[in-house]
Amino acid sequence: MRAQPALVLALPTGRTPIPFYRYLAAIHRKKRVDFSRVTTFNLDEFVGLAPSDPRSYRAYMQRHLFDHVNLSPRRIHFLNGIASDVEAECRRYERAIARAGGVDLMILGLGRNGHVGFNEPARFLMARTHLTRLAAATRQANRALFGSRVADVPRSALSIGIGTILGARRIVLMATGAGKSRCVERMVNGPVTPELPASFLQLHAAVDLWLDGAAARLLRGARRLPEVGAAAQSRCGR
Ligand code: GLP
- Interval 65-113: pLDDT, tens: 999 999 999 999 999 999 999 999 999 999 999 999 999 999 999 999 9
Residue 224, pLDDT > 80, answer no
Express as a percent the part of the chain with pLDDT over 90: 91
**Tens-place pLDDT, residues 182-205:** 999 999 999 999 999 999 999 999
Q: What is the tens place of the pLDDT at every residue in 18-60?
A: 999 999 999 999 988 999 999 999 999 999 999 999 999 999 9
- Residue 39: predicted pLDDT: 98
Q: Is the CB of 43 under 6 A from ligand 1?
A: yes
Q: Does 68 qualify as catalytic in the annotation?
A: no
Query: Is pLDDT of 221 > 80?
Result: no
Q: With helix as H, strand as E and coil as C, how does the chain read?
A: CCCCCCCEEEECCCCCCHHHHHHHHHHHHCCCCCCCCCEEEECEEECCCCCCCCCCHHHHHHHHCHHHCCCCHHHEECCCCCCCCHHHHHHHHHHHHHHCCCCCEEEECCCCCCCECCECCCCCCCCCCEEEECCHHHHHHCHHHHCCCHHHCCCEEEECCHHHHHCCCEEEEEECCHHHHHHHHHHHHCCCCCCCHHHHHHHCCCEEEEECCCCCCCCCCHHHHHHHCCCCEECCCC
Confidence of residue 166 (pLDDT cuts 50, 70, 90): very high
Out of 134-138, 147-151, 226-230, least confident range:
226-230
Q: Choose, from 28, 77, 115, 130, the residue flagged as catalytic.
A: 115
The predicted structure's pLDDT at residue 78:
98
Q: Residue 231 class from Cβ within 10 Å (0-12 exposed, 13-18 middle, 19+ buried)?
A: buried
Task: Give residue 234's pLDDT.
Answer: 41
Segment 5-14 shows an average pLDDT of 98
Query: Which residue among 41, 110, 176, 181 is best mutated to probe the pocket of ligand 1, counting the most ligand atoms within 8 A of its Cβ?
Result: 110
Ligand 1: which atom is nearest the Cα of residue 44? 8
Our measurement of the distance from residue 122's CA atom to the centroid of its chain's CA atoms, rounded to an integer in Å, reads 18
- The whole-model pTM stands at 0.91
Average pLDDT score over residue span 116-120 = 98
Q: Which atom of ligand 1 is nearest the CA belonging to 179?
A: 16
